[in-house]
Structure 1
Amino acid sequence: MRTNIPALAATLVGLLFVAPAASECNATTNPTIELRAGTVIGAVDHDVEYFRGIPYAQPPTGALRLKPPVPLKSFGPDPVDATGVGPACAQLTAVDPTPLWVEALALPGVAETLSFGSALGGLGEDCLTISVLRPRGTAADAKLPVLFWIHGGGFSSGSAQMYNGSVLVPQSVAQGKPMILVAVNYRLGAFGFLGGKQVFAEGVANLGLLDQRMGLEWVADNIAAFGGDPDAVTISGESAGAVSVFDQLALFDGDNTYKGRPLFRGAIMNSGSITPTEPVDSVKPQWIFDTVVEAAGCASAADSDKVECLRGVDYETLVNASNSVPGSLGYYSLALSYAPRQDGVALTASPEVLAQTGKYAQVPIIIGNQENEGTVFALFQANITTEAALVSYLNTIFFQHATPEEVAGLVATYPENPDSPGGVGPSNSTYAEFKRLAAILGDWEFILMSRLLLDTFPATVPAWSYQASYESGTPILGTYHTTDVPQLFVKTDDVSAAIQALYISFVDSLDPNNYAAGTTPSGYLTAWPTWQDGKQLLELGTESTRLIDGDARAASFEYIRAHIGSLHL
């Protein structure tokens, strides 16, 4: 049975356009904030005050391109007009060029669905901005808790502008737990996550993570002026944003202090946590670097001059070069071209090693996944019709440092037609190995990695975990990757109200069980024990919640844990 790609077009839009970006000013007086750097003018949309696109670092252009961010001390003589949407960072805007995309792209609507960059608007290199969204009329001395959101997009796409506070912020007010939502832009693709020995030699790896950290420092310095509490920040994100959340926990071996105070007190990770990776100067990132350098016309430069050559090319040339490598919605799937990697300074080891050795800020967390994380990323490998082909694919594209026998051993822990939580019903198979590949990708990148992280948490630091199944009826995909984002930011049904209540409670008190009584539908909220208390997950279903055991696919989990040193990206 072939995948009905056109029928999935609307579904895949959820990967990319999850929240309206624009806000209309409907007040006669725009809210104004005085910061050390200057004046910021915002807008009001119903019950939310928006301050979007506030610069927090100097433009990373010219001599500052491909270098760590530099703080911005002054906006200049004019106030910052934060009434619009603000810029989005340069990103991958085209689909994966792999030839196996050709058949899929020939079907109606697919190319338009997946070539999404133009819809973001305002793409550019001068994009290191932050947005603050607060309840209307927030007093300067309100000391509201802060949710600091890091967007997803495979470290190569997405923006803070895709998320607004029109649902979540008013919900926090309605529950008597008002909060401020902050969203940060960070450099993407080759601009923010380029690897290679030349990048390592210059000490300019993981720039996107350093951007995020500077955004947190900006919050520490400035959020009080918006009525926020710099000592009550929860960092949160989805997909690559969730991976970034753990990286922020583990940055500099877990030192999350700034001016002697912690930058955050809690963390929420939706669909992402630890991703085992090879170093920044290893074979895979070197291939990406060499490809980008070739596409940018810098291949003839001496090795020591190649990064400097990239700094000198025009913006469009570097954008096109950044787009010359495979994307995550295609044959290479979650074998990401751009990703955080250990550089010996910001990230001193692979994330799972940092977790296992306790080198991360151990703050209370919520961490969870969608039931069918891998289905979206297994749509375009229709040539994988045998177990041998599946082993070869994983060994060649993903686990290049593992032996074929090690990869075959991993595959052997999965049945040929796995059902949930790693696949969907038997009638929804699209090619012979689709469901098994979907299960492996979903487990390795998301579900079982979060379990590995949870098992490192000490008993004294509470951690809660969930699994979502509220979209289980979606053909082919099930409860697929990103279905949680509209639940949090857009929807207002019973399921979303329950999820929002749990998150708002956690941001307010570091305990998701302190939600306001009577503000959520009956049947949806169950007392949620910590992971340490029985290793149970809160299943977020279509009509209710319940507790389930968190030990699904134990054989696969134990195999990955025993061989994780070889199963690196």
Structure 2
Amino acid sequence: MKLHITFAKSFAFASFLTEVVIAGNASTTLPVVDLGYEIYRANNFNTQGSYYNFSNIRYAAPAVGSLRFKSPQLPSTNRTAVNDGSVGRICPQASADTTQVTAELFNYLNTHNVTTSLGLASRTVAARDPRESEDCLFLDVLVPQAVFERNNSGSAVLISIYGKSSSLLQRSRLHDPEGMIHVTFNYRIGAFGFLAGPSFEKDGGTPNAGLLDQRMAIEWVRDNIHLFGGDPHRITITGESAGGGSVIHQVTAYGGLRGPVPFQRAIPQSSFWSPNSSPYEQEQLLQKYLQLLNVTSLSAARELPASLLIATNEALIHSSGANPFGPTIDGDFVPRDPRQVLFNGNYTPSVDILIGHNSQEGLFTVAPLIGQNDSVFPSVITKQFVGMAPSVLEFVLDTLYPPVYNGSLYADFVQRVALFVSDAFIACTTEYLANAYNNAIYGYVFDVAPGVHGQDIPYMNYLKSNSTSANASSSSTSSSLINEILNVNETIAFALQDYVTSFTINGVPTSSVDGLTEFPMYGSNSSVVNLNLASIIEIKAPTDNNRCKWWGTALYN
């Protein structure tokens, strides 16, 4: 049985919270930045947040025609006009249909007395966004007015791998009166960014093009952010879910062989990535995509209209029940599974880390197994870890996740699989990074019931001046279900936002609302901060266990 692990491998570009802005028609009052290759004027000024929004800045050449499915290229020079970023672009989007499994999960939560404030509504495939385009490699720079206009040292910079949040800009002023710069960017996803396989490469395709887009955007920030008042030596990257997995891939890029990474700090949140698919699986997926396009080669696919490729990408992912596209081992940017890279010490050691995960990450993925029993567990594991040796499978089944339902680890089969998913794909990353960075990291656990994957996103986007329903708008989650979380606890929301912004600005997470004397470093006590409705306290990391230590060795390969 194939588990529907649908942890947001494709997201919308950004969440837009209602605020007052002065639009770009006031061209004489909005500032201009000369990037050398193009000239950009701020698109608007946000009067509530007092920041300029430089929108839709091109950071790479259009990935169209002969550049489809290839590495991003530097943009050409075009200085004929001042660009105000008024034409919005997003990369082609697609999502798996999880309506049925979502309903099954809620039935399970209700029958097991799991407290939840999640809402549920009927869902269908969304209409195509008119901003979708293959020519989508653009970014936004949100810069406080005070930062842009000053002439002294540069501001800290937060780069989000999908999604921008005005709440973080506002909260950052508690840690620096002038605030910080926030950058968000598009990158290719789905078939456009993550096709792979022997035939794909033979026909000139570049695997992990989406990750390479990310790297080019981060390098663009390093090279250009000083023009906006930013400090290229104070760059933090962050991401949620697959965005968090992307953060891990950026930390481990090239196995550490290309010198320092173009950032100084990293905040992976609920970081997810799949076990790297085999070349056979990659080839099967490529051929399925080409078959749906009614062509036999990648070269032929490059000649097709973009609308056909976009529609086929959507159809393939929506019908799969899970997004089949994601990072693969390519021997270059992804030399090995990041778990192995971290375990073997092949990474840049000079990055500061703040990592977080939710308390029940895996629960959101196991709805297809409700009503099943232990007999299907072996197939669940081997479908995710293709080629796992029988002896290793036996160890996972009998030692790591034994069928003992006494509540010490889990009370039923669904919880058993949920723990496996949480450990293997998300939560144990805290242990991997702690080991790699000699325990000199910071960590937290979001423990608001039920603590499912994506539940923390509305907390990160919470704005006190907005209604709860508006604050629940989100840009990075595998299901619109998470956008309907209600009753955001303000203290926890502000604490989370403080941790991210203070770490970005000063390298140490702090908050005035959490009641803690200080945020502990992981250290020899495996300390993390646990946030729930009753308290915010220091605890021993729940990932400091033999299960996570084993997953960190990557012995499943």
Shift of 1:273: 6.1
Residue 429 of structure 1: aligned partner: none
Structure 1 residue 272 corresponds to structure 2 residue 298: no
Deviates more, 1:206-215 or 1:49-58: 49-58
Residue 302 of structure 1: aligned partner: none
Distance (whole Å) between structure 2 residues aligned to residue 557 and residue 314 of structure 1:
46
Shift of 1:349: 1.6
Structure 1 residue 284 corresponds to structure 2 residue 281: yes
Shift of 1:236: 1.0
Paired letter, 2:201: F
Q: What SS does structure 2 have at the residue aligned with 1:312?
A: coil
Q: How does 1:149-298 map to 2 (within 5 A)?
A: 149-151=160-162, 160=163, 163-164=164-165, 166-176=166-176, 178-201=179-202, 202=204, 204-255=206-257, 262-272=261-271, 275-278=274-277, 282-298=279-295
Equivalent of 2:16, from 10, 13, 20?
20
Unpaired segments ≥5 residues, structure 2? 1-7, 108-118, 465-489
Q: What SS does structure 1 have at the residue aligned with 2:362?
A: coil
Q: 1:303-353: CA deviations, max 9, x gaps?
A: xxx2212211221221233234456x9755xxx511111111222122112
Residue 486 of structure 2: aligned partner: none
Shift of 1:532: 2.7
Paired letter, 1:314: P
Paired letter, 2:384: F
Residue 45 of structure 2: aligned partner: 44
Residue 410 of structure 1: aligned partner: 396
Residue 154 of structure 1: aligned partner: none
Instruction: Indicate conservation of the 8 Å contact 1:422/1:438, yes or no.
Output: no
Shift of 1:134: 1.4
Equivalent of 2:159, from 148, 157, 160?
148
Q: What SS does structure 1 have at the residue aligned with 2:243?
A: helix
Structure 1 residue 479 corresponds to structure 2 residue 451: yes
Paired letter, 2:299: E
Distance (whole Å) between structure 2 residues aligned to residue 390 and residue 16 of structure 1:
33
Residue 509 of structure 2: aligned partner: 512
Residue 444 of structure 2: aligned partner: 466
Residue 349 of structure 1: aligned partner: 336
Relative distance call for 1:400 and 1:223 in structure 2 (3 A) is: same
Distance (whole Å) between structure 1 residues aligned to residue 291 and residue 541 of structure 2:
46
Equivalent of 1:387, from 369, 374, 380?
374
Shift of 1:214: 0.7
Equivalent of 2:77, from 52, 74, 77?
74
Structure 1 residue 113 corresponds to structure 2 residue 105: no
Distance (whole Å) between structure 1 residues aligned to residue 36 and residue 75 of structure 2:
10
Instruction: Indicate conservation of the 8 Å contact 1:368/1:465, yes or no.
Output: yes
Relative distance call for 1:418 and 1:239 in structure 2 (3 A) is: farther
Q: How does 1:493-532 map to 2 (within 5 A)?
A: 493-513=490-510, 520-521=512-513, 523=515, 525-532=516-523
Deviates more, 1:404-413 or 1:347-356: 404-413
Q: What SS does structure 2 have at the residue aligned with 1:338?
A: coil
Q: 1:79-130: CA deviations, max 9, x gaps?
A: 222257x221112145269xx769979x9x9785363464x55122111011
Distance (whole Å) between structure 1 residues aligned to residue 194 and residue 385 of structure 2:
20
By relative contact order (CA 8 Å, sep 6+), the higher-ranking structure is: 2
Residue 90 of structure 1: aligned partner: 92
TM-score by length of 2: 0.81
Q: 1:215-264: CA deviations, max 9, x gaps?
A: 0121122111111111110111111111111111121222565xxx7511
Relative distance call for 1:122 and 1:356 in structure 2 (3 A) is: same
Q: What SS does structure 2 have at the residue aligned with 1:122?
A: coil
Distance (whole Å) between structure 1 residues aligned to residue 84 and residue 71 of structure 2:
26
Q: What SS does structure 2 have at the residue aligned with 1:446?
A: helix
Instruction: Indicate conservation of the 8 Å contact 2:13/2:185, yes or no.
Output: no
Relative distance call for 1:73 and 1:58 in structure 2 (3 A) is: same
Relative distance call for 1:369 and 1:529 in structure 2 (3 A) is: same
Instruction: Indicate conservation of the 8 Å contact 1:130/1:184, yes or no.
Output: yes
Structure 1 residue 537 corresponds to structure 2 residue 528: yes
Equivalent of 1:136, from 145, 149, 155?
145
Paired letter, 1:26: I
Q: What SS does structure 1 have at the residue aligned with 2:21?
A: coil
Relative distance call for 1:552 and 1:63 in structure 2 (3 A) is: closer
Structure 1 residue 375 corresponds to structure 2 residue 363: yes
Relative distance call for 1:22 and 1:131 in structure 2 (3 A) is: farther
Instruction: Indicate conservation of the 8 Å contact 2:12/2:90, yes or no.
Output: no
Relative distance call for 1:549 and 1:357 in structure 2 (3 A) is: same
Shift of 1:415: 5.9
Distance (whole Å) between structure 2 residues aligned to residue 123 and residue 420 of structure 1:
47
* Percent identity over paired residues: 25
Relative distance call for 1:276 and 1:169 in structure 2 (3 A) is: same
Relative distance call for 1:133 and 1:18 in structure 2 (3 A) is: closer
Equivalent of 2:384, from 371, 395, 398?
398
Relative distance call for 1:284 and 1:227 in structure 2 (3 A) is: same
Shift of 1:484: 2.3
Paired letter, 2:199: Q
Shift of 1:433: 3.2
Q: What SS does structure 2 have at the residue aligned with 1:496?
A: helix
Relative distance call for 1:236 and 1:439 in structure 2 (3 A) is: same
Distance (whole Å) between structure 2 residues aligned to residue 251 and residue 506 of structure 1:
22
Distance (whole Å) between structure 1 residues aligned to residue 186 and residue 407 of structure 2:
34
Structure 1 residue 550 corresponds to structure 2 residue 544: no
Instruction: Indicate conservation of the 8 Å contact 1:538/1:548, yes or no.
Output: yes
Paired letter, 1:337: P
Structure 1 residue 488 corresponds to structure 2 residue 452: no
TM-score by length of 1: 0.79
Shift of 1:175: 3.2
Residue 4 of structure 1: aligned partner: none
Q: How does 1:440-459 map to 2 (within 5 A)?
A: 440-458=420-438
Instruction: Indicate conservation of the 8 Å contact 1:135/1:173, yes or no.
Output: no
Relative distance call for 1:401 and 1:94 in structure 2 (3 A) is: closer
Shift of 1:521: 2.2
Relative distance call for 1:102 and 1:368 in structure 2 (3 A) is: closer
Distance (whole Å) between structure 1 residues aligned to residue 413 and residue 304 of structure 2:
43
Q: 1:368-393: CA deviations, max 9, x gaps?
A: 200011122112344x6110112223
Query: RMSD value over aligned CA atoms?
Result: 3.2
Paired letter, 1:457: Y
Equivalent of 1:437, from 397, 417, 421?
417
Distance (whole Å) between structure 2 residues aligned to residue 256 and residue 360 of structure 1:
10
Relative distance call for 1:420 and 1:196 in structure 2 (3 A) is: farther
Paired letter, 1:311: R
Instruction: Indicate conservation of the 8 Å contact 2:242/2:273, yes or no.
Output: no
Shift of 1:411: 3.4
Aligned residues: 498
